[in-house]
Structure 1
């Protein structure tokens, strides 16, 4: 299992344990998902890498690396995080009457 599959598996275990428990063979499921995520990241990275311009080689390497990181962020959101149940939003504490009288 690659790093993407491990990340997806740990994320689901921690944030959606009920769905994780329903997966008959988590090792195979997340190994396959990890490969799919990797393929999608590579494909999207190619689309996001800008054409070579007037930048220095080091600057261009930075642009390529940023494109790869952005692709990973997008793919993780689509293929891992969007499928998780929504976390309850933290609410601001409501002031009590005693706090208001102070």
Structure 2
């Protein structure tokens, strides 16, 4: 299981315990979710990076690297929002997720 899968599992333990309890095989679910998240991140990163570099039209290596890194962070945030940090179950809003 990758980092996305582990993060989602911890999140569900804290904020989605009822949904977690209903999963027949949490290990498989979060392994698959993590793989899906990595694939989504890679695809988004490529798209965002291409768009940023095309718009910037720069040959400066450091600037291109910065744009690439920014695109990756944006892709990661999009993945977390869409796949990892789903709506919290009622009564869990006050809890804090442990690292």
TM-score w.r.t. length of structure 2: 0.79
Aligned counterpart, 2:70: 66
Question: How far 1:8 moved relative to its partner?
Answer: 0.7
Secondary structure, in 3 states, of the residue corresponding to 1:51? helix
Distance in 1 (CA, whole Å) between partners of 2:89 and 2:45 is: 28
Aligned counterpart, 1:27: 27
More helix as a share of residues: 2
After superposition, give the CA deviation of every residue in 1:25-51 in whole Å (9 maximum; x if it has no partner): 111100000000000000011110122
Secondary structure, in 3 states, of the residue corresponding to 2:36? helix
Question: How far 1:83 moved relative to its partner?
Answer: 4.1
Length, aligned pairs only:
88
Secondary structure, in 3 states, of the residue corresponding to 1:27? helix
Higher RCO by CA contacts (8 Å cutoff, separation 6 or greater): 2
Alignment gaps of 5+ in structure 1:
89-102
Aligned counterpart, 2:97: none
- Matched ranges for 1:6-85 at <5 A: 6-49=6-49, 50-51=52-53, 53-85=57-89
Aligned counterpart, 1:99: none
Q: Show structure 1 runs of 4+ deviating over 4 A.
A: none
Secondary structure, in 3 states, of the residue corresponding to 2:86? helix
Question: How far 1:18 moved relative to its partner?
Answer: 1.0
Q: What is the alpha-carbon root mean square deviation over aligned residues?
A: 1.7
